[in-house]
Amino acid sequence: MQYEFEEILETIKMTEIEHFDIRTVTLGISLRDCFDRNIEVTKQKIYEKILKYGKNHVKYAEEVEAQYGVSIANKRVSITPAAIPFDALKADEFVEVAKVLDKAAAEIGIDFLAGYSALVQKGFTNGDRELIKSIPYALAETKRVCSSVNVASTNAGINMDAINMMAQVIKDTAEKTKDDGSIGCAKLVVYCNVPEDNPFVAGAFHGISEPEVVLNVGISGPGVVFEAIKAAGNVDLQQLAEVIKKTTFKITRAGELMGRMVAKKHGIPFGIVDVSLAPTPAEGDSIADILMAMGLADVGAPGTTAALAMLNDNVKKGGLMASTSVGGMSGAFIPVSEDQGMIRAVENGNLCIERLEAMTAVCSVGLDMIAVPGDISVSTIAGIIADECAIGFINNKTTAVRMIPVYGKTVGESVDYGGLLGKAPIMSVRDIGSSVFVGRGGRIPAPTRSLTN
Amino acid sequence: MRITEEEIRKITLNAIAELGDRANPGIVKEVVSKTVANLESSTSIPDVISDSGKVILTSFGLNHPGIVAGITSALSETKCDIKDISQKIMSEFYTMIMILDITSSPKSLKEIQEKLNNVAAELHVKVYLQHEDLFRSMHRI
C-alpha cells in the first residue's frame, strides 16, 4: 500500500480524538479603495467589497473541510486597519463604519471580522485619534467587529500616550458592555510589534503591504502535541523536542494544504500559515496540559517558563520545515479563559499575572483573555500594557494585552462567555500605583536593538 | 447581478473604445452586453479539481459479518474504483483502509461521503473518506 496503515490511522486519530483542527481560515480584504467624501457611499463601498470577496468564504471552507475530513473551526475576515483608509472620518462616523462591517460579517455568515484598528506606535493622525475614541462605542454597538491598536514597536519605541488612551478605552469598553460581562474587551487587543498577516482574530488585520485580497490560515492542535508527548513517555528533553517538531510538522502541512485549497477555490493568493498552538476551552485542547505532560505539577510551577520556551521554539522549528509561508504570530498562545488547564491553575492559586508576564517573554502574544477586577485603575492597566510592550520591543517580538476589567466583579468571581471565549476567573492585580510613571506620557525611545544596520 | 463602480467604469471605457463616433442604441446595447458577459466569466471562480482523484477510506469498529460487503457494494453503486485494500483485526475490533479512485464516479466526493455515512450508520461502524493529498502532505516530505 502507498501509505502505511499506521500513518493513516495516526491522521484519523488526530482529527477524531485529539481535536486536531484548522483553527481559522481568514480572508484578508483591502479596504483602501473604499473611501468616499460621502459617508453613505463609503459604507456602501465597504459593504459591497466585503460581500464581493467574502460571500462564498464559509461555503468554500466547508467544502475543503469535507474533502479532507479535517474541521476548520473558524472562518473569518480581516480588513485594512480602518484608521488608514478612513482617516478623514470623525468618531461617530467610525461607529457607522463599524456597524456596516458588522452587517457585512453577518451577511456572509461569519462570527468575527477584525481590523477596526490603528497603528500608532510613533504617533497619531487625526483619524487614529478619532478611531480610538470610537472603539468603546463601536464594540458596544456591534457583535462581530474586533479591534486592535498597535502602541509600540522595536523600531519606534513605546507610545505611552497611546497606552494611556487605550487603558481608558479598555475601561470604557468594559463599562459599556457591562451587561454581557464586559465582553467588548474580549474583542480588543493592544499590541507591540503587531504582525500584519496574523489570521487570528481578535487581533487580525489586513496589513498595508498585503495584496488586494489574501487567504491566511492559522493552525491549531494542542491536543495532538499533548497526546504525542504523553505517548513519548520518559524521554530526555532533546528527544521530547523531536517529538514536538515532528508533530507540528504534520499539522502545519495539513494546515497549509487546506489553506491553499480554500485560496484556490476563492481564486485568490494564499498568504501565510500561522504555526500556532491555539487552545480551546474543550477538554484536552490545552497548552497547560502540554506543559503538565512535559513534567510540571501545574502551570506556574518553577520551570514553567523554560518548558513553554522549549515548546514554543520547537513548534516553530517543525512548522518552518513544513511550510515556506510561515508568518503571523507563530508560537504557542496562552489565553487564560480559553484553556481549561490555565483556568484550573488560576483557580488553584498557582498562576498569577506576573508569572504569565514572564511566560509571554518566550511565547507568542501576551496577556491574553485575562479577567481582572472591574475597579482596577486606568493607570494600572496602562502600567501592565507598558510592561508587555517593554518585553516585546526589547526582544523584537510581538506582545499584546487583551485584558477584561469585568465591571462589578472582583477576585474570587468569574465570568463565563461560553463558546470559544470560555470562562475567565478574575485574577488579582497588584494595584500599587504607577500613575506618575505612565502619566509622564511621551514615548519610550526605540531600543538599541532597533539599530541593526 | 450587482455591478461595482469599477466595473461600470470598465464597461464605459470598453464602450468608448468600440464605438468612437458611430454610436447608436443598437450598438451600445451589443457592446454593453458583451462586456458584461466577459466580466462574469473573468470573475467566476475556477473549478478546483485536484490532480489525483484518489481518496482514502478508513473504517473501523466492532467486527461483524457483512461490513466489507456493505461498504464495497456502496462503492460499486457509485462506480468508485478500489485501488488497494488492507484490513487488520485486533480481538473484536477491525480496521480497514482502502485507496479509492473516484475519477470515474459520476458522484462528487461529498455525495459518496453521504452515501457511505448512511451505510456506516446501518452497519454501526465508522467510515471516513478523505482526499489522498492530506495524507501525502502529512506523511511524505
Residue A453, pLDDT score: 85
DSSP A311-363: HHHHHHHHHHHH-S-B-SS-SB---STT-HHHHHHHHTT---HHHHHHHHTTS
Query: Sorting pLDDT into bands at 50, 70 and 90, what band is B44?
Result: very low
Cell 502540554: give the residue. Answer: A290
Sign of CA dihedral B129, B135, B138, B139: positive
Name chain A contacts of B99, Cβ cutoff 8 Å: 1-3
Q: Are residues B66 and B129 in the same domain?
A: yes
Look at B128 and A2 and tell me if their CB atoms are within 8 Å. Answer: no
At residue B41, does pLDDT exceed 80?
A: no
Task: Report how far Cα A125 is from the mean position of its chain's Cα atoms.
Answer: 25
Burial annotation A330-365 (CB, 10 A radius, 16+ → b, else e): bbbbbbbbbbbbbbbbbeeebbebebbbebbbbbbb
Which residue in A12, A264, A265 is closest to B58 by CB distance?
A12
Q: Does B22 touch chain A (CB under 8 A)?
A: no
Give the per-residue pLDDT at A364.
79
**Closest C-alpha among A203, A132, A185, A136 to residue A163:** A132
Q: Count the domains in chain B.
A: 2
Contact A95, A43 (CB under 8 A): no
Contact B29, B37 (CB under 8 A): no
Instruction: Report yes or no on B28 lying in a domain.
Output: yes
Distance CA A171, CA A385 (A): 13
pLDDT exceeds 90 at position B49: no
Q: Please indicate, yes or no, if residue B48 is contained in any of the structural domains.
A: no
Task: Assess whether B39 and B59 both reside in one domain.
Answer: no
Whether B62 is covered by a domain: the verdict is: yes
Instruction: Look at residue B51 in the predicted model and tell me its pLDDT.
Output: 59
Picking from A2, A16, A49, the nearest residue to B99 by CB comes out as: A2
Same domain, B81 and B36: no
Report, as an integer, the average pLDDT of B18-43: 69
B17 or A167: which leads in pLDDT? A167
pLDDT in tens, B75-130: 999 999 999 999 999 888 999 999 999 999 999 999 999 999 999 999 999 999 99
Q: Do A9 and B58 touch (CB under 8 A)?
A: yes
Asked whether residue B37 is assigned to any structural domain, the reply reads: yes
Query: What residue of A is the nearest CA neighbor of B57?
Result: A8
B64 with B88, same domain?
Answer: yes
A254·B134 Cβ contact <8 A: yes
Q: What is the mean pLDDT of each run of 10 residues along chain A (453 residues)?
A: 85 85 95 96 97 97 94 96 97 98 98 97 97 98 98 97 98 97 97 95 95 95 92 95 95 94 96 92 90 96 97 94 92 91 95 95 90 96 97 95 96 92 93 92 95 87
For residue A328, give the nearest of A23, A9, A51 by alpha carbon: A23
Helix, coil or strand: residue A89:
coil
Asked if B48 lies within 8 A of A261 by C-beta distance, the reply is yes
CA distance B59 to A12: 10
Flag if A69 and B128 touch (Cβ within 8 Å). Answer: yes
The predicted pLDDT at position A356 comes to 95
User: Which domain range does residue B17 map to?
Assistant: 5-43
DSSP string, A28-45: EE--TT---SSHHHHHHH
Chain-chain contact of A11 with B86 (C-beta, under 8 angstroms): no
| Whole-number pLDDT of residue B42 | 47
The C-alpha atoms of residue A279 and residue A20 are separated, in whole angstroms, by: 11
B10 is written with which cell numbers?
A: 470598465
Is the Cβ pair B110, A63 closer than 8 Å? yes
Residues B62 and B101 occupy one common structural domain: yes
Q: CA B132 to CA A147: how far, in whole Å? A: 39
B131 shares a domain with B71: yes
Give the pLDDT score at A6. Answer: 87
The answer to whether residue B80 is domain-embedded is yes
Same domain, B25 and B58: no
B72 shares contact with chain A (CB less than 8 Å): no
Tell me what pLDDT residue A90 has.
97
Q: Say how far apart CA A128 and CA A352 lie, in whole Å.
A: 34
Query: Residue A53's closest chain B neighbor by CA?
Result: B43
Residues 26-55 of B with CB under 8 A from A: 45-46, 48
When pLDDT is cut at 50, 70 and 90, the band that residue B48 belongs to is very low
Residue with cell 450508520: B121
Q: How confident is the model at residue B46 (pLDDT cuts 50, 70, 90)?
A: very low
Q: Is residue B49 part of a domain?
A: no
Pair (B97, B129) in one structural domain:
yes
Structure-block grid coordinates of residue A293: 505532560
Rounded-to-integer distance, Cα A283 and Cα A287, Å: 11
Tally of CB atoms within 10 A around A70 = 22
Query: Which amino acid, residue A387?
Result: D
Q: Is residue B75 part of a domain?
A: yes
Does one domain contain both B17 and B65? no
Instruction: Measure the CA–CA gap between A236 and A342, rounded to whole angstroms.
Output: 25
One domain for residues B34 and B92: no
Residues B68, B37, single domain; the answer is no
**Do residue A67 and residue B109 have CB atoms under 8 angstroms apart?**
yes
Q: Can you state the angle between helices A126-141 and A91-108, rounded to 10 degrees? A: 50
Length of chain A, please? 453
Strands A414-418 and A113-119: unpaired
- Provide CB contacts within 8 A for A354, sequence distance 6+: none
**Shortest CA distance to A54 belongs to which of A222, A207, A241, A206?**
A206
CATH number at residue B80: 3.30.70.260
Asked whether this complex has an ipTM greater than 0.85, the answer is no
Q: Tell whether B19 and B69 lie within a shared domain.
A: no
Q: Is the dihedral of CA A254, A327, A268, A44 positive or negative?
A: positive
Q: A65: how many CB neighbours lie within 10 A of its CB? A: 19
Select from B9, B109, B137 the residue whose CB has the most chain A CBs within 10 Å, as the one to mutate to test that interface.
Answer: B137
Q: Quick check: B45 and A266 CB within 8 A?
A: yes
Of the residues B1, B42, B130, B136, the best mutation for testing chain A's interface (the one with the most A CB atoms within 10 Å of its CB) is B130
